Amino acid sequence: MRKTISLAFLVALCILPACKKDTGCKLDSECPEGQICRNMKCEANSNAGAPAAQDSQNAEDARPAAKPTTPQQIELSSIAENKTTKLEDLGLDIDYVLSDMVNLGENTKLEIGPGVTIDMQSSGAGFDVGGDAALIVKGTAESPVIFKSTNSSVWSGLRFSSKNKDNALNYLQIFNADGEEHVIGLNYEARVSMDHVTLDGSANDGIRVFGDAKFTKFTNNIIKNCKGYPLVLDSYAHIGMIGDGNQYENNKQYIRINPYVFDNVQNSVIKKQPIPYYLADGMNVDGESGTLTIEPGVEFVFEHEKEARVGGSIQLKIEGSAANPVIMRGMTDEANFWNGFSFDSARSSSISGLTLINTGCNETPSLRINNEAKLTVSDITFKATDHLCMEISGEAKVTNKGGLTFEKCGKGNIYDNRIEGDDDKRIIAELPAANE
């Protein structure tokens, strides 16, 4: 009996799974340690230990490359060959050195990141941005980009003739540049945004804008220690592109405006700046349409025998006040220095809060309202002329809202040619006030 049970027990053992014929594997976990499942069979793993080695290699590849410990030479050929080149902060006092002019053309872009310092090592060093290229300086308040020279070399500066709207100088500090005539030049149809740029030092002018070039933004900039003018503008239209927050220190303290004719006025606004606008050849605003607005506190300075004129069908809005007037004066503080202001636009205009000083050159009246002009006046102050302060002629229509002040008018306050009779009757002390 006992023997029969033993045989039955053995038979039962043979029908357990362990006694079944091996059907292979599907997962590595079904194989003994050190083996893997391949083609549904457990085989020795010939790559044992390889994953760890691979992980080690991947970790090595993931480590950032060590930054250079010495300044890097900017390779001109590298910039020319690549559509976009980026210069990043290397954490050095001087990150890069430049000994020649970088010419950016075609679709090339050069981006300079926060904190980068470039040492300009020759008089020919600088950036010339042409074609459709772009120079993009991405400094920040905490990490400005710096262009300077450490070997007392006066370097060439920046030139833009590219109309790429990506051109931008943000939080850039420029030291010791000369550029023969100016440090930053905008030529042709260049488009450049400048915000929080400090330009410190020039044997000549700071920035010059030529032709149809434009600032797409010009705010919060500092221009100082230039032996010439901080800004020289070759088109009247450039004036309206100068924004707020700019400072000018220790230069020829005028923004120089070269053109005499101010055409294509459209809707233009002249904003107050911390220093006067110097109209080297005078001011002649003319055209078939457009509105010129001059904000409170704007100051214009004129050379000897020059004049200001607004005519055609231009609408003029001088928006000064008695407390914060618009000022037009001569470069030299002496009576009769410049010709004064002539207005003969047929479009209804207004002059409020204007002070005229040093007028009367060539015996011209300080303010001349001519032809078919339509003008409303208030709070105008006349100073320092040995001749007439105001002359009205033709079919001019003048509305006086009050506040006219005549401090010195050597030949009388107002000559109103619309009054019949001789000159004695035409010279009057006051202009009749408008009926309220």
Summarised one tens digit per residue, pLDDT across range 372-399 is: 899 999 999 999 899 999 999 989 999 9
Please indicate, yes or no, if residue 48 is contained in any of the structural domains. Answer: no
At 18, the pLDDT band (50, 70, 90 cuts) reads very low
Residues 246 and 294 in one domain: no
Supply the pLDDT for residue 14: 37
Supply the pLDDT for residue 63: 59
Supply the pLDDT for residue 155: 87
For the entire predicted model, the pTM comes to 0.79
Count other C-beta atoms under 10 Å from residue 71's C-beta: 18
- Counted domains in the chain: 2
What's the residue count for the chain?
A: 436
CA angle, residues 182, 187, 190, in degrees to nearest 5? 120
The model's pLDDT over 401-429, given as tens digits with 9 standing for 90+, comes to 999 999 989 899 999 999 988 888 899 99
At 74, the pLDDT band (50, 70, 90 cuts) reads confident
Of the three residues 259, 275, 297, the one that is the final residue of a domain is 259
Count other C-beta atoms under 10 Å from residue 393's C-beta: 17
Of the three residues 259, 274, 290, the one that is the final residue of a domain is 259
Cα–Cα distances (Å) from 31 to 18, 22, 34, 48, 221, in that order, read: 14, 12, 8, 14, 73
Range of the domain at 333: 265-436
> How confident is the model over 204-209, as a mean pLDDT?
94
CA 427 to chain centre: 50
Please indicate, yes or no, if residue 22 is contained in any of the structural domains. Answer: no
CA angle, residues 187, 189, 193, in degrees to nearest 5? 85
> How confident is the model over 91-113, as a mean pLDDT?
91
Of the three residues 232, 259, 286, the one that is the final residue of a domain is 259
Supply the pLDDT for residue 62: 56
Can you read off the two tokens belonging to residue 277?
Answer: 């606008």
- Return the H-helix or E-strand segment holding 426: helix 423-426
Please indicate, yes or no, if residue 145 is contained in any of the structural domains. Answer: yes
Question: Residue 346: pLDDT above 50?
Answer: yes
At 44, the pLDDT band (50, 70, 90 cuts) reads confident
The model's pLDDT over 247-283, given as tens digits with 9 standing for 90+, comes to 999 999 999 998 888 877 788 889 999 999 999 899 9
Question: Residue 34: pLDDT above 80?
Answer: no
DSSP code, position 107: T
Is the CA virtual torsion 135, 140, 141, 146 positive or negative? Answer: negative
Report the chain's mean pLDDT, rounded to a whole number: 86
* Integer Cα distance of 354 and 316 in angstroms: 13
Please indicate, yes or no, if residue 358 is contained in any of the structural domains. Answer: yes
